[in-house]
Amino acid sequence: MSRRAEKRAEQADRLAELRAREELGVLRAGAGAARPGKSGRNKAPGEDGGGRNGGRKGRKGRKESGSRPRELFVPPRGWYGPGGGRVGYLDPPTMWRATTVQACGMWPFAAGSGSPMTGVPLGQHLFTGATVCGDPLNWFTRARYISNPSLFMLGMPGLGKSTLVNRMLIGLSATGVVPLVLGDLKPDYADTVRALGGQVISIGRGRGGINVLDPGAMGAAAARIGGEAGEVLKAETHGRVLNMVAALITIVRGRPMDDHEQSVLSAVLHHLRERTPPGRTVLLPDVLRVLAEGPDRVRAVTLDRGDDARYRDAVDPLHRSLLGILDGPLGDTFASETSTRIDPAAPAVCIDISGIGEADTQLTAAAMLAAWSDGLGTVAASHALADAGLEPRRWFFTVLDELWRPLRAASGIVDRIDALTRLNRSLGLGDAKITHTLKDAEALGTDADRAKARGFVERAGMVVCAGLPKAEMEDLGKVVGLSRREIELVSSWSSPPGWGVTGEHEEPPGRGRFLIKVGGRPGIPIKVAITDAERRLHNTNTRWTPNENAVERAVEQELAHTAAQVARAAQEGAYAMPGVPGGPVAGGDAGRWTA
């Protein structure tokens, strides 16, 4: 109930109370006049016959006293004053959402909800029980609640962040939006994408690789479009490939490339594009070959002036870094052709990099950046084809999970992520960035990188908070504006589960609870209850779940093996079976086999 409605109810209660008290006074006065022996001050008006209207008033009092008294009106919240039973607050009723078929007897006698109802159904309001719907794309396109179709989610591990994003993926896919999970680390989303009929691509040593020089979907779209628009798309493809190779070199070096090295690399890529026959893709070993040959186009940007020593001094650092990509910690993941290209017509895409070891931080960051570059290139190609009238318009929703891992890989990576994700509004692209705390940004090496990483939160249209410590929430409140009540509420969700005295599984109090913040508006606290289908598709603790079938098979195999050994030993006469009298017993362990 709003404050205005509550005030009107209080005024109505006061008016009803005054009328009831007035009626009570009239009834008491009439009853006192009918009783003999009462003092004059208790007589009803007109009882003594005085005044012009005394007789009429006395007759009215005698009439009311002689008739049956009416029941007094009691305000629904009780009387004001001590002992009146006044109720200051009424718990709001639980709100339910249903169609006219499900609740046909109640239609149209229904009241609207104060919770947003546009977008994917996320859960129930924590206090009212009303259904809460929302996602970055629908709140940007339909409801106009946000000005940027992006979501930034923070929270401690194990509280359901990826579960909520999985629900958004399923709901958006049902409306025609294409989910893109560009770098699934656990994996959290591969099973969901498979259930949606999408494409799952595995990346890792021995599993599959990405050729960062492959133009991919953008190159195919440029050839299909042709003309001036096709040339523009080719130029964008060249810039995207250049940025991706520069990002890999940044990871290997631990620092960004120099400006003249980027010029040399750009000249090498142009040289290769012009001289590579159609149908053959350029690989990183080809870049090394061109640097070793030193064609005139590449020498021109090094300012060698015909001096071979000056040329080698200019290109050798770049040459060494490329060798580090091919033969160093990144292995052969980026040395060969792309194992599986992204299908632009797939209903959903997941690039699974869970096969990369947890400690292999450089390869993880490189694989994530390569997946993002390839995926966003596919988005740009789809929109270019739609602009040319060759394909229908499609919207995309990307998931960038575990954002802290590429941020910590090397200095300057935040620039690459910023460049890849800043223009999502103009690309017809919604995104969700997921990490644990704001301290993931504070752990970066330079002040500039920390400021850019904080900008991810500031530019997000929606900020979703799971359980976080109070200190973390206070830091976040300086960025998005949180009230003291909101800080205390989300901080309470970070408490650990209670001690399970009954032996039953105790869940953390904050699991499935989130606070949705949009600008300076009050936050929307929700609780998410997953369905059985979602529970089967999504389990981030699969490594901690025993495989019952495998355990049973192992026990059966062990029993069969033991039985075979015992039977063979009994046939050879080496042991006497327990409980079986007679038979020879040999060896020092004979006592273990005798009854």
User: Tens of pLDDT along 377-416?
Assistant: 898 899 899 999 999 999 999 888 877 776 765 555 677 6
Lowest mean pLDDT among 67-71, 252-256, 515-519: 67-71
pLDDT at 584: 40
Quick check: 466 pLDDT over 50? yes
pLDDT band at 63 (very low <50, low <70, confident <90, very high): very low
**Which residues make Cβ contacts (< 8 Å) with residue 348, sequence separation at least 6?**
169, 173, 178, 179, 180, 181, 192, 193, 196, 197, 198, 199
Report the phi/psi class of residue 134: left, alpha or beta, with left for phi > 0 and alpha for psi in -120 to 50.
Answer: left
pLDDT at 461: 87
Q: Strand, coil or helix: what is 116? A: coil
pLDDT band at 93 (very low <50, low <70, confident <90, very high): low
Mean pLDDT of 428-436: 85
Check residues 568 and 259 and name the one with the higher pLDDT: 259
- Rounded CA-CA distance 475/97 in Å is 36
pLDDT at 128: 83
pLDDT at 347: 92
Q: Quick one: CA dihedral 112, 114, 118, 122, positive or negative?
A: negative
Quickly list DSSP for 582-594.
-S---STTGGGG-
Question: What is the phi/psi pair of residue 208, to 5°?
Answer: 170, 160
pLDDT at 423: 53
Percent share of the chain, pLDDT over 70: 69
pLDDT at 64: 45
pLDDT at 554: 62
| 428, 379 contact by CB (below 8 A) | yes
Helix (H) or strand (E) holding 472: helix 470-480
Token readout for 129 is 């029980």
pLDDT at 95: 67
pLDDT band at 194 (very low <50, low <70, confident <90, very high): very high
DSSP code of 143? S
Give residue for tokens 């292995």.
331
Mean pLDDT of 518-525: 88
Quick check: 55 pLDDT over 60? no
Q: Quick one: CA dihedral 365, 369, 374, 375, positive or negative?
A: positive
pLDDT at 580: 38
Quick check: 87 pLDDT over 60? yes
pLDDT at 586: 41
pLDDT at 269: 92
Mean pLDDT of 120-149: 90
Strand partners, 463: 152, 517
Residue type, 1: M
pLDDT band at 576 (very low <50, low <70, confident <90, very high): very low
Helix (H) or strand (E) holding 430: strand 429-435
Among 218, 119, 201, 194, which Cα is nearest to 430's? 119
Question: What is the phi/psi pair of residue 291, to 5°?
Answer: -65, -35
Quick check: 35 pLDDT over 70? no
Quick check: 560 pLDDT over 80? no
**Which residues make Cβ contacts (< 8 Å) with residue 483, sequence separation at least 6?**
522, 523
Mean pLDDT of 347-371: 85
Tell if the pTM clears 0.85, that is, is over it: no
Mean pLDDT of 586-594: 38
Quick check: 206 pLDDT over 60? yes
| Peptide bond between residue 108 and the one before it cis (omega within 30 degrees of 0) | yes
**Which residues make Cβ contacts (< 8 Å) with residue 157, sequence separation at least 6?**
436
- Rounded CA-CA distance 388/235 in Å is 17
Mean pLDDT of the chain: 77
DSSP code of 544? G
Mean pLDDT of 41-45: 42
Quick check: 349 pLDDT over 90? yes
Q: How far is CA 100 from CA 103, 108, 118, 129, in A?
A: 5, 8, 18, 20
Quick check: 363 pLDDT over 50? yes
Quick check: 45 pLDDT over 50? no
Quickly list DSSP for 21-44.
HHHHHHHHHHHHHHSTT--GGGSP
| 432, 165 contact by CB (below 8 A) | yes
Q: CATH second-level architecture of 113-210+338-497+508-540? A: 3-Layer(aba) Sandwich (3.40)
Quick check: 36 pLDDT over 70? no
pLDDT at 208: 86
pLDDT at 200: 94
Which spans in 200-258 are helix H? 216-225, 227-253
pLDDT at 188: 85
User: Tens of pLDDT along 483-499?
Assistant: 899 999 999 998 877 67
Lowest mean pLDDT among 47-51, 122-126, 319-323, 451-455: 47-51
- Rounded CA-CA distance 19/323 in Å is 93
